[in-house]
Amino acid sequence: MIVLRDRSMPAGARSGTRAGTPTGRPPAPAAKSGDGSADGPADAGRHEGAADMSEPAGAGFARALIVDDHPLFCEALSLMLREMGVAEIAAADRLAAAAAALEAGAAPDIILLDLSLPDVNGLDGLIRLKRLAGATPIVVISSMEEHRIVASVLRAGAAGFVPKQSPRDAFARAFAAIRAGAVFRPDGFVAVEGDGPEGEAETAIDRLALLTPQQARILDAVCEGKLNKQIAHDLDIAETTVKAHITAILRKLGVHSRTQAVLIAQNARYRNILRDAPGVP
């Protein structure tokens, strides 16, 4: 497994890994059902559309990119993917490292993304990575299984959501569903609908997904309170270009001011989506 790191991160800050030398444990066994029996293959997850499970689980996905900052989990997941037939696996422990790899020409067939990364705030990471990845499917792997998180992840364009503790069978089913052009949902997922903060967050995600990578970078700078002149200097573009992008951003977000654009971005953060989730202050 090739380990990719953000250049701003000290080389010794994260231990390296090698393909075929697992140091972590594979994902945990399936959770026990109410009657004490382990969930069977049929209960591992749901998806839209049928898939041919007679072919190898990794067929069609020769190259994978894992974006997760937990070395042991990355190692175990890498081993499992190899057993499923994925030949080339790279791992990045920061969104910046994954983005840099994609911008440099990396072409994975599938990306597995953890939402909780040191340099990611809310769903921004998924939205940014989706823009860079183009048609490459992104599967979110996370220990946060709250229905609002799953719903928001799928609305933001993820090809599927697999809880981190899922057995290999769930990953195989997710891969099969995605190969068939379907969206994979975890077992027991219930779509979240309605108004209020959660509905506002979903609308914000839909609007933010319309922005180009450059527009997203400019919106980030606006959220940091930077002026057009500062943004132009940071991105090495003309100030008139910044103004044109901001006009386009406001139009896509359906707002009339920079302040309203910032509020739209803030509505896509986790703490709004997880307002009622256990353990979130």
Please give the share of the chain, as a percent, with pLDDT higher than 70: 69
pTM of the model: 0.62
Contact indicator for 253, 261 with CB cutoff of 8 Å: yes
The pLDDT value recorded for residue 152 is 83
Tell me what the mean pLDDT of segment 7-35 comes to: 38
Interior/surface letters 95-114, b for 16+ CB within 10 angstroms, e for the rest: bbbbbbbbeeebebbbbbbb
pLDDT band at 216 (very low <50, low <70, confident <90, very high): confident
Our CA dihedral for 264, 268, 269, 273, rounded to 10 degrees, sits at: 130
Q: Rounded to whole angstroms, how far apart are CA atoms 142 and 150?
A: 9
Give the pairing type, strands 2-4 and 45-47. Answer: unpaired
Q: What share of the chain is helix, strand, coil (3-state, %, to 5)?
A: 40, 10, 45
Q: How far apart, in whole angstroms, are the C-alpha atoms of residue 16 and residue 5? A: 10
- Tell how far CA 85 is from the center of its chain: 22
Q: Are 51 and 179 in contact (CB under 8 A)?
A: yes
**pLDDT, average across residues 9-25:** 36
What is the pLDDT at residue 187? 85
What mean pLDDT comes out for the span 84-113? 93
Across 14-18, 35-39, 163-167, which has the greatest mean pLDDT? 163-167
Residue 156 · residue 175 · CB < 8 Å: no
pLDDT value, residue 2: 63
Ordered structural domains, the chain, with CATH? 2-186 (3.40.50.2300), 197-273 (1.10.10.10)
**pLDDT tens per residue across span 115-146:** 888 887 667 788 888 888 889 999 999 888 78
Cα separation of 258 and 260, whole Å?
Answer: 5
Residues 152-207 pLDDT 10s:
888 888 999 999 988 889 999 999 999 999 999 988 887 765 444 455 556 777 78
The CA distances from residue 207 to 34, 55, 116, 212, 264, in Å, are 40, 38, 22, 11, 8
Tokens 């940091």, residue? Answer: 224
Instruction: List, in sequence order, the alpha helices (H) in 84-167.
Output: 95-103, 124-133, 147-155
Three-state secondary structure of 28-89: CCCCECCCCCECCHHHCEEECCCCCCCCCCCCCCCEEEEECCCHHHHHHHHHHHHHCCCCEE
pLDDT in tens, 254-265: 889 999 888 888
Tokens matching residue 160: 């599927």
